[in-house]
Structure 1
């Protein structure tokens, strides 16, 4: 039964007591609102659908994201931890003051549309021409994915009173076509010369390993010495993007490069990393960071549009183009969990397809 009482502050408090359920109460400005809430709560209890929404009504998205970054994000890979912090900023800026209970699908859809129409913040440099563009579809998709996982954690682990994940009812922006940027022969020669001439030999080693194995940059720089077996010619990865460990076979070139890296005479005794950086504020060494050097090098060579991750695309594409490996074998090397994802990295050059067509005609 529900009890409606007027408080000394002239508000109305509704209290619902039903056997088998915890006592529920809430205060309203009008008696009518209190009665409506009480009837709705009694109905939910009768049908077994009642959820205590007190925490979800009090916890703001900003507070929830802060807790998520503190409790959930540290369990992810280093690169993903940094990404989570970046993705949380626009969510806090535009939705941070909303309570979790107030974030409905239409509000989240409004966030999606607003972000897609926001210009990308760009740092202007002297004598540089910047072409204005809006936030990309994939950026917004990743932000919504973070928000969705936050709600999943809040419902399943934090036991925040929410009936469902509101992001699941929001249309996500289309991912768009996957990148198919290939490395031209002259570009490969120029890049190899540039990285080999760099003062730190680790940059050239990382470049050549990426091109030979298809490993991600984060996978390469996080490798420790005991993870590489030169005799068996394999690198064992425990920290991957998809969370699944895998063992990568090494070509003779990759094996020789790893041998050089392992014999690096300047490796400090306080680090087991193959590719190590300078000590941080905490005195601990983290993986070698080369992104700034890589970007400046590409610009000087006139190939600023080539990303380091495109080396992975190039390596996997070359595996496919040899015709020596099945899709399953290529996936075992690259770590792709689905053939659909693998196909994004295996576009054949049109010129090569023409040659294959000609060969097929000659045989008929």
Structure 2
């Protein structure tokens, strides 16, 4: 039998001591609530289905996310760590005071709808993909809490709600005139590394972080390949180089301003600690694209452009994914946007072959 006593504060405390189970105690406003909880808990113990829920009832989402960022995020890439810290801020802002036990599917669905209807700092609606990634972080937090933290959670409430669609993806392509102006601008920049990086992105479809993080030993000009080990999806791949990409890398490797002790292909100025890190061009990229009338162009759009050109050039999906590193054909299609006018000539060639 449980022991139920009145506390000096006027509440009622129920204490259950049962052989084979840890002592369990909980405080309630009324004696009736304490008795009901005691009977229900003892019955679960007898049936062997009791789960200690006090941990999830005491731990708020704010505290849980802080623990996640301390223990789980450091096992991931630095870029992922920064992204998760940003997503955690939004979750804490809206749901931080809830205990994990109180975060029902209904509460989380309401969060989803609130975020989708809210505006970002730039005055734009919060994108489906942003909310989807926030929910992904929350879902993984519950998975870790269930599997590793022993908080008494029995299910992941995020799994029971509808996730926002990731959308069709961006379809920003470069027109010939835009490419001409862009290349002229970056090639005339005082630091030649900016022009080399942009050209390599257009020729290879490599991500910005993959290009700027390159070391000299990863580039094999004789075989015309670049070997990538540190990628977004953690899958190493070898990227073939066009003649233009090979010539661009040749120029970058022969950069006369590179210090002899620096192995980075694209390097920045030494930091306060004296170490050189990858060349950071985000600020100048933002200035140049606005100056030349392309404010909506993101550097990542160059990857889209390169992948689309691979497909337009006749490479198969498997060949393109081997170059770009996409793990699924679905993701590859989201990155591929073909110009209908560019396909007209290919259609004509196909018909000629059939009638020949």
Change (3 A) 1:36 1:229: farther
For residues 44-98 of structure 1, the C-alpha deviation after alignment (integer angstroms, 9 at most, x for no partner) is 3344433222222222222222222222222222322221122122111111222
1:327 is matched with 317
Deviates more, 1:58-67 or 1:337-346: 58-67
Change in Cα spacing, 1:268 to 1:170, as seen in structure 2 (3 Å) is farther
Contact preservation (8 Å) 1:3, 1:14: yes
Q: Distance in 2 between matches of 1:270 and 1:26?
A: 63
Q: C-alpha separation between the residues in 2 aligned to 1:310 and 1:162?
A: 42
The 8 Å contact of residues 210 and 311 in structure 1, kept in 2 or not, is answered as yes
Q: Deviations for 1:302-323, whole angstroms, at most 9, x for unmatched residues?
A: 1111211111111111111121
d(CA) in 1 for partners of 2:55, 2:271: 39
Q: C-alpha offsets along residues 195-235 of structure 1, whole Å, 9 cap, x if unaligned? A: 11111111111111111111110111122222222233222
Q: Please give the alpha-carbon distance, in whole angstroms, between the structure 2 residues aligned to 1:45 and 1:236.
A: 58
Structure 1 residue 350 corresponds to structure 2 residue 336: no
* In structure 1, distance between residues paired with 2:313 and 2:82: 37
Q: Does 1:287 align with 2:263?
A: no
* d(CA) in 2 for partners of 1:136, 1:216: 22
Matched with 2:32 is: 32
Paired residues for 1:203-218 under 5 Å: 203-218=194-209
Is this contact kept in 2: 1:79–1:218, CA < 8 A? no
Instruction: Report if aligned partners of 2:128, 2:164 keep a CA contact under 8 Å in 1.
Output: yes
Whether the 8 Å contact between 2:312 and 2:343 is mirrored in structure 1 is no
Asked whether the 8 Å contact 1:77–1:239 carries over to 2, the reply is no
Query: In the TM superposition, what are the counterparts of 1:62-73 in structure 2 within 5 Å?
Result: 62-73=62-73
TM-score by length of 2: 0.92
Equivalent position of 2:115 in the other structure: 115
Distance change >3 Å, CA 71–CA 280, structure 1 → 2: farther
Structure 1 residue 263 displacement after superposition: 2.4
Give the drift of 1:278. Answer: 2.8
Rounded Cα–Cα distance in structure 2 between residues aligned with 1:120 and 1:238: 35
Q: Which runs of 5+ in 1 are unaligned?
A: 123-131
Partners of 1:91 and 1:143 within 8 A in 2: yes
Q: 2:147 — aligned with what?
A: 156
1:339 and 2:329 are equivalent in the alignment: yes
Q: Deviations over 1:84-115 (max 9, x none)?
A: 12212211111122222221111111211111
Q: What SS does the corresponding residue of 1:157 show, helix, strand or coil?
A: helix
Pick the aligned partner of 2:178 from 187, 201, 211.
187
- How far apart are residue 19 of structure 1 and its match? 4.1
Matches of 2:150 and 2:273 in 1, distance apart?
35
Residue 304 of structure 2 contacts residue 335 of structure 2 at CA under 8 Å; is this kept in 1? Answer: yes
Report if aligned partners of 1:247, 1:333 keep a CA contact under 8 Å in 2. Answer: yes
- Cα pair 1:235 1:249 within 8 Å, conserved: yes
SS at match of 2:291: helix
Describe the SS at the equivalent of 1:248.
Answer: strand
Q: Which runs of 5+ in 2 are unaligned?
A: none
Residues 129-148 of structure 1: pairs in structure 2 closer than 5 A? 132-148=123-139
1:96 matched residue in structure 2: 96
CA deviation after TM superposition for structure 1 residue 298, in Å: 0.8
Are residues 1:173 and 2:168 paired? no
RMSD in angstroms over aligned alpha carbons?
2.0
Contact conserved, 2:229 with 2:236, CA < 8 A, in 1?
yes
Equivalent position SS for 2:33: helix
3-state secondary structure, aligned to 1:148: helix
Matched with 2:249 is 258
